[in-house]
Amino acid sequence: MTELAKALMELDEQKVYQLVEEKLNNGVSPLDILAECNEGMAGVGDLFSQGQYFLSQMLFSAEIFKNVMKQLEAVLPQTQESTGKNKVVIGTVKGDIHDIGKNIVVSLLKGSGFEVIDLGVDVPAEKFVAALQESGAKVLGLSALLNFTYPEMKNVVQAVTDAGLRDQVTIIIGGAPCNEQVRQFAGADYYAEDAVAGVNICKKVYAC
Amino acid sequence: MLADVRQLYETRLGRYQAAIALEKTDRIPIATGSNYFAEVYSGNTKQDTIYDSVKWLQAEEAFIRDFPEVDVLRNNRIWGPLYDAVGCKTYRLPGRDLPPNTQFQFVEDEYMKADEYDVFIKNPLEFMLDRFLPRVLGELAEPGSIRARMALLKGGMAQAQMGQIMRNRAIYLEEKLGMPQPMTGFFLAPFDALADVMRGLKGTLLDIYRQPDKVLEACDVLVDEMVNLALATADPLKRYPIFVPTHKACFLSPKQFDTFYWPSFKKTMERIIEAGYTIRAYLEGDWGHHIHHMLELPKGKVLCDIDNQGDIFKAKEVLGGHQCVAGGIQDSLFILGTPQEIRERVKLLCETVGKDGGFIINGGCNIPYDTKPENYRAMIDAVIEYGTYDRNFTPKPKTVQPDGKEPVKLKMVTPWEVKLAELGTVMGEESLIRKAWEQLEVMGYTWIWQWVL
């Protein structure tokens, strides 16, 4: 693991910014810097899976990563070729305006090199469908904090089916009120118990 | 009050209190703190609950008629008009910014800036009045303006109206329906006071890395304020526990919890318990790594609600014989499950975590709005069937003995002594003037701090 990746994994905030700054000044390509950060974020995910890190560390790593992205944005190649690969559409379903959990997943996905189409909160079914059609993403992530959203999750799955996309899209649900029973009710493919589990499912989908 | 209604009230209250105190009782109480299902069972919208107190009470009357086995029903809720009068920004309310049948939702923001800790620590009240309230209460955005002054006036009046509504409601529930309350009064863990509305979760988490000492100092300052808030809003007769929803502990690592969350929370609870109260704590999220700390508090004083992500069996294993635990039924089971599934679950719970008392069947800190009525009925029937300890035992409420201690002095901005010095002397009975003066001072002070919730 590189020094930068390690600093990020260990949440040494100032050191991360400083190393990124140094690397940029030394002409290191922003894409290479990003790759190192991805390695650090993967390390954070591993520590979480091992029970050494908790949600607070996930949130803090996401914050550092976001700030690094800001540092890099100015110099990253402007028009990245959209490959149509590794895309994930994600959002909090209609009626629910909470996004802490979703944002952790988004950061981890980005840190794993996914292109994330984050639709935000209170997202209606048709917006999910449109985003899937537009992007060609193979994964749809539905997030919720409140338990009144069960029918809405089912509704989104139905809308994806109605649009003829169901067999091309893997649907994952996650968030506090979700479990296997809710997954079955909604007709989703997976229930992700935490952010890392969600990211691993995305990796699995794009591996095949 | 009719004798049989009084009897019903006392049996219910006694049953609930016995469970909290880990004492003998006749059966497991049906004593959810937040029964959202009860509010909408009769067909009311979620807007009705917070805007139409008459319809709200009617709803619960209908609920009690159909589910007379229920032992407690919640009183204090958000009352929409108060939130409107001052333009409180922390909640989206059904019927106002949400469809009438969507549940209220909390909106987080940074109402205290990262560099304001010193200002807050130096003079919390001044900080609240000068900075926090104008930010969190939209109508007070321009201090000194006519609109802001009007809003403060209306906010006080609305608070008095709300107090009247809640008081009348409590009396009606008690005297007409024999129904006690699951909790009265509220406070927050100092860390949550900081991390909910003041700094927000993100802000606070950054702070514990970037300026940990300031977070700790602020939490220390907040102990006093939270104790005051709890005691000022509590049931003076000490029948009911004081409510504390814990929000941010589930995000913290055990080390962070031990450092930032627990010391000030423990101090706050110790002082409340010392003042003669019990506490009902919603342990939101998964408290698996933190819950053993509840053993450090006096036995039978803190009822712990275990959330959906928590493990009721482990919680009982850790706290059994020391604190009462509530929970055990997943929200999803109430909403999506069948009566048979509920029945099996309750049976299992009664035979394991419930078998030696100190247990209350509940969802994850509440009964969800979308609970199927037949599932709720199945839960009650199963509790009666499997959760009865002694049919011949009649629970009785605890009588609160005066302990001879001076009651805790509640906070005021201008204590009576100051006012009296200004007056020089009073011509008649001083205590009559003093009592009302102090009561209004306490109400005003409490009003300011309630907005951290």
B326: number of Cβ within 10 Å: 31
> Which candidate, B126, B183, B66, B20, places its Cα nearest to that of B413?
B126
Residues 6 or more apart whose CB falls under 8 angstroms from that of B445 comprise: B125, B228, B232, B410, B411, B412, B413
Instruction: State residue B405's pLDDT score.
Output: 78
pLDDT at B100 > cutoff 80: yes
Looking at this protein, which amino acid is placed at residue A168?
A: Q
* ipTM for the predicted complex: 0.89
Chain length of chain B: 453
pLDDT at B75 > cutoff 90: no
Instruction: State residue B77's pLDDT score.
Output: 84
Per CB-CB distance under 8 Å, the chain B contacts of A97 are 92, 105, 107
Mutate to test the interface with B, among A15, A50, A56, A102 (most CBs of B within 10 A): A56
Per CB-CB distance under 8 Å, the chain A contacts of B252 are 54-56
Provide φ and ψ at B408, rounded to 5°: -60, 135
> Cβ of A122 under 8 Å from any chain B Cβ?
no
CA distance B358 to B326: 8
Question: How many whole angstroms from its chain centre is CA B435?
Answer: 27
Which residue of chain A is at minimal alpha-carbon distance from B334?
A: A147
Mean pLDDT, residues B130-156: 97
- Identify the residue whose tokens are 């959209």: A82
> Which candidate, B283, B180, B282, places its Cα nearest to that of B238?
B180
pLDDT at B386 > cutoff 90: yes
Say which DSSP state A3 is in: H
CA distance B226 to B176: 33
CA distance B379 to B383: 6
CA distance B190 to B188: 6
Instruction: State residue B404's pLDDT score.
Output: 74
CA distance B453 to B451: 5
A-B C-beta contacts closer than 8 Å: 72
Per CB-CB distance under 8 Å, the chain B contacts of A54 are 251-254, 256, 289
Q: CB-CB: which of B102, B208, B251 is closest to A95? A: B102
Instruction: State residue B362's pLDDT score.
Output: 95
Instruction: State residue A84's pLDDT score.
Output: 55
Q: CB-CB: which of A11, A55, A148 is closest to B103? A: A148
B33: number of Cβ within 10 Å: 23
Residues B18-44 pLDDT 10s: 999 999 999 999 999 999 999 999 999
Mean pLDDT, residues A45-73: 92
Distances B192 to B31, B115, B156, B383 between C-alpha atoms, Å? 25, 18, 25, 34
Instruction: State residue B407's pLDDT score.
Output: 81
Per CB-CB distance under 8 Å, the chain B contacts of A56 are 205, 208, 251-253, 256
Looking at this protein, which amino acid is placed at residue B441?
A: E
Mutate to test the interface with B, among A8, A54, A185 (most CBs of B within 10 A): A54
User: Chain B residues with CB-CB distance to A under 8 A?
Assistant: 92, 99, 102-103, 105, 107, 201-202, 205-206, 208-210, 250-254, 256, 285, 289, 308-309, 330-333, 335-337, 368-370
User: A98 vs chain B: nearest CA distance in angstroms?
Assistant: 8
Q: CB-CB: which of B202, B250, B309 is closest to A59? A: B202
Residues 6 or more apart whose CB falls under 8 angstroms from that of A36 comprise: A2, A4, A5, A8
pLDDT at A76 > cutoff 70: yes
pLDDT at B54 > cutoff 70: yes
Q: Residue B400 — very low, low, confident or very high, per pLDDT cuts 50/70/90?
A: confident
- Identify the residue whose tokens are 């604190």: B323
